[in-house]
Amino acid sequence: MSGSSIGEKNGMIYATETLNFRQGQGGARWTMYTRANEPGSGWDTSDAPNSWYGAGAISMSGPNNYVTVGATSATNVMPVAEMPKVPGRDNTEGKKPNIWYSLNGKIRAVNVPKITKEKPTPPVAPTEPQAPTYEEEKPLEPAPVVPTYEKSQLHQLRLQINRSRQNRKSQHMRQRNHRSQHQ
């Protein structure tokens, strides 16, 4: 957990960031037990706002899970060269192992977003189809009139159409004759 003194190293979870329980010694950010003159002290209680400092996290899944809990000297877990130095103390001799732990599902981290199931949007009933509406056809104003021709005008139009057809025929014949002469 970000900011926690607990970490994972070589398959073990332990206080990788501090070897002491007192603020300012061996890398400790706060004193483990409550001290009136030290803000942030007393993190080692379940109701402390900064209890995350002494918490680690593991992930378990599947039908069968197990955790092995043990105690050993800090010198057996970490090389002396990597250990934080506590002034006025012998940092090379083995420390008495002590262990306290609880395994639970409480998330100690702060400002963790709460994950909740969202209620799905309920289905909406389909709208009933409506019969189409049509505009009523209205007569055009003014209504179109079929053209009328006098007999002489009709006769003239027919003559023009016939002449046009004859001209096209004779032009076609001339082109055919011309081609046959040049072959």
- Average pLDDT by stretches of 10, the chain with 183 residues: 78 72 78 87 83 80 81 70 70 61 70 79 91 84 77 82 89 82 71
Overall pTM > 0.75? no
Show the DSSP H helices in the chain as ranges. Answer: 74-77, 151-181
Region for residue 99 given its phi and psi (left: phi exceeds 0; alpha: psi -120 to 50; beta: otherwise): beta
Whole-number pLDDT of residue 124? 92
Whole-number pLDDT of residue 7? 81
Q: What does the longest C-alpha to C-alpha distance in the chain come to?
A: 135
Whole-number pLDDT of residue 101? 67
Whole-number pLDDT of residue 19? 62
Mode of pairing for the β-strands spanning 7-9 and 12-14: antiparallel
For 120-143, the DSSP string reads: PPPP-PPPPP-----PPP---SSP
C-alpha torsion sign, points 89, 91, 96, 100: positive
Write out the two tokens for 164: 């046009």
| Residues β-bridged to residue 13 | 8
CA gyration radius, the chain: 50
Whole-number pLDDT of residue 126? 92
Whole-angstrom distance, CA of residue 175 vs CA of residue 32: 116
- Decide: 53 and 3 in contact? Cβ < 8 Å: yes
Write out the two tokens for 169: 């025929």
Whole-number pLDDT of residue 113? 74
Write out the two tokens for 31: 């004193």
